[in-house]
Amino acid sequence: MSIVEYRAGLEGVPATQSAISFVDGRQGLLEYRGIRIEELAAHSTFLETAYLLIWGELPNQKELESFEREIRSHRRIKYRIRDMMKCFPESGHPMDALQASAAALGLFYSRRDLHNPAYVRAAVVRLLAKIPTMVAAFQLMRKGNDPVQPRDDLGYAANFLYMLSEREPSPLAARIFDVCLTLHAEHTINASTFSAMVTASTFTDPYAVIASAVGTLAGPLHGGANEEVLDMLEEIGSVENVHPYLERALDQKSRIMGFGHRVYKVKDPRATILQQLVEQLFQEFGHDSYYDVAMALERAVEEKLAHKGIYPNVDYYSGLVYRKLGIPKDLFTPIFAIARVAGWLAHWREQIYENRIFRPTQIYTGLHECPYVPITERQMNGAQFSTAEYSS
Ligand code: ACO
């Protein structure tokens, strides 16, 4: 096969065939297994949506109940994983803690039998069940507290919020958080899903697949953007500062966090739903002035950048929801990961059932036939390294 065209970032290059989700970036349409995200946000739950994504069809009542029951009974994490997590530095980012703990699951559940449906089911259940517990455990342990045990009488979203604060959330808070998980559960072949698929294609274990995806999601151009959105809103501080901030950012050619998307050239449908959730939360728990700043910035960005197809993406309003729920900023991306585990697992399953190991090619731009210069004859190459980074 000859290479016809190189596209940086593989933009527009199909990397796989998939029946899991569909995005039309011009119409602002997102479907999971053919069902519109608006329908799922209004009527489904995160676990039902996860089942749909992973197994391909909506479960009937009995199937859903048994899936929920299995997940409930696997929420606890082994004390040795908790002990390992206790040794993590409390200053470390929770995404790094999550990546390490997800990978550690592979040490405890090491039997790899990818073609056995029971093994696949158990891995799906374990990952969906334990990832929220690990995120909540690290949050409490880094503050010097013992982790809170999961509560079997609470649903998936309510239990996570409970494990974070030891307080049972209101039904509205739990429902809104559950919808947030549904909205973040899957989004075609983005960077972290691609990472999961590449890892899956080697037939390694699913814990390594999820760990590699978590590491990819952590970057500020991907899942990490929602933290930066809140930093930005804090920096802007008031509606009056929106225009000066934007002018300055555009002059400096900085990215406005929470705006722009490789696929969507209109407002991300998930941002629209999240904005409605923000408003519901404010009606129940009181207004947040950062929302006024966010809306003013959205209008200002639209005036300046709509011609480039730059509109709010999923990260723009999610931070305001989580802030109102009392969730610390650096847990926003781990929460994204809790949700996206569903999509990553769906792609893992799809990949291993019709696998071909990923092995793309490259266009070599380096030198050829270079001599090996003895060390005594080499010139300084000009690179200066500081040792400050290694001081601790
Ligand atoms: N703010 C200002 N300008 C932007 C932004 C932004 N957020 N995003 C894109 N642009 C501009 C670029 O400067 C470029 O302008 P130019 O053509 O005049 O040079 C044009 O829009 C196209 O930009 P690209 O970099 O080609 O767009 P790409 O598709 O590669 O980038 C990305 C997508 C990485 C998400 C980008 O929009 C961005 O950096 N956004 C901010 C970070 C963010 O919110 N990430 C979360 C994405 S959603 C998710 O991962 C879950």
Q: What is the pLDDT of residue 5?
A: 85
In this model, does residue 373 exceed pLDDT 80?
Answer: yes
Q: 376 CA distance to ligand 1 centroid (A)?
A: 47
Closest residue to atom 44 of ligand 1, CA basis: 258
Residue 158 lies in a domain: yes
Ligand 1 atom nearest the C-alpha of 263 is 29
Indicate if ligand 1 lies below 6 Å from the C-beta of 261.
yes
CATH number of 346's domain:
1.10.580.10
Q: What is the model's pLDDT at position 388?
A: 66
The answer as to whether 156 is a domain residue is yes
* Whether 122 and 238 share a structural domain: no
Query: Rounded to whole angstroms, what are the CA distances from 200 to 139, 223, 251, 348, 349?
Result: 29, 20, 42, 6, 9
Q: Using CB atoms within 10 A of its CB, is residue 78 exposed (0-12), middle (13-18) or buried (19+)? A: middle
- Whether 385 maps to a domain, the answer reads no
| 11, 262 contact by CB (below 8 A) | yes
Using a 6 Å cutoff on CB, does residue 325 contact ligand 1? no
The whole-number average pLDDT for the span 186-209 is: 97
Whether 229 and 219 share a structural domain: no
Of all protein residues, whose CA lies closest to atom 36 belonging to ligand 1? 260
Distance CA 105, CA 21 (A): 28
Give the C-alpha separation, 216 to 193, whole Å: 9
Distance CA(40)–CA(81), nearest Å, equals: 34
Query: Is 320 found in the same domain as 186?
Result: no
Q: How many domains does the chain have?
A: 2
Together in a domain, 169 and 230:
no
3-state DSSP assignment of residue 259 = strand
- Is residue 234 one of the residues assigned to a domain? yes
Residue type, 320: L
Residue 379 — very low, low, confident or very high, per pLDDT cuts 50/70/90? confident
Are 238 and 218 members of one domain?
no
Same domain, 148 and 258: no
Query: Which residue out of 13, 310, 332, 344 has the highest number of ligand 1 atoms within 8 Å of its CB and is therefore the one to mutate?
Result: 310
Name the residue at shortest CA distance from atom 34 of ligand 1: 221
Residue 260 belongs to domain with CATH number? 1.10.230.10
Is 60 inside a domain boundary? yes
Task: Give me the sheet containing 35-36, strands edge to edge.
Answer: 21-24, 29-32, 35-36
The verdict on 49 and 197 lying in the same domain is yes
Average pLDDT over residues 13-18: 94
Question: What is the best residue among 308, 315, 333, 340 to mutate for testing ligand 1's pocket, by most ligand atoms within 8 Å of CB?
Answer: 308
Residue 25 pLDDT exceeds 60: yes
Mean of the pLDDT values across residues 339-346? 98
256 lines ligand 1 (CB under 6 A): yes
- Same domain, yes or no, for 110 and 164? yes
Residue 66 corresponds to which tokens in the numbers above?
């048994």
pTM of the model: 0.93
- Given 282, 308, 324, the domain boundary residue is 324
Let me know whether 310 and 204 are in one domain. Answer: no
pLDDT, one tens digit per residue, over 69-120 is 999 999 999 999 999 999 999 999 999 999 999 999 999 997 789 989 999 9
Contact 188, 16 (CB under 8 A): no
364-383: average pLDDT:
90
- The band of 46, judged by pLDDT with boundaries at 50, 70 and 90, is very high
Which range marks the domain in which residue 256 is found? 225-324
In this structure, the answer to whether residues 158 and 235 fall within a common structural domain is no
Would 102 be classed as within a structural domain? yes
Tell whether 97 is covered by a domain.
Answer: yes
- The answer to the question of residue 164 being in a domain is yes
Are 241 and 173 within one domain? Answer: no
In angstroms, the Cα distances linking 124 to 52, 79, 113, 144, 349 are: 13, 21, 13, 31, 9
Strand duo 21-24 + 29-32: pairing: antiparallel
Residues 252 and 201 in one domain: no
Task: Give how far Cα 245 sits from Cα of 249, 293, 297, 388, Å.
Answer: 6, 11, 9, 33
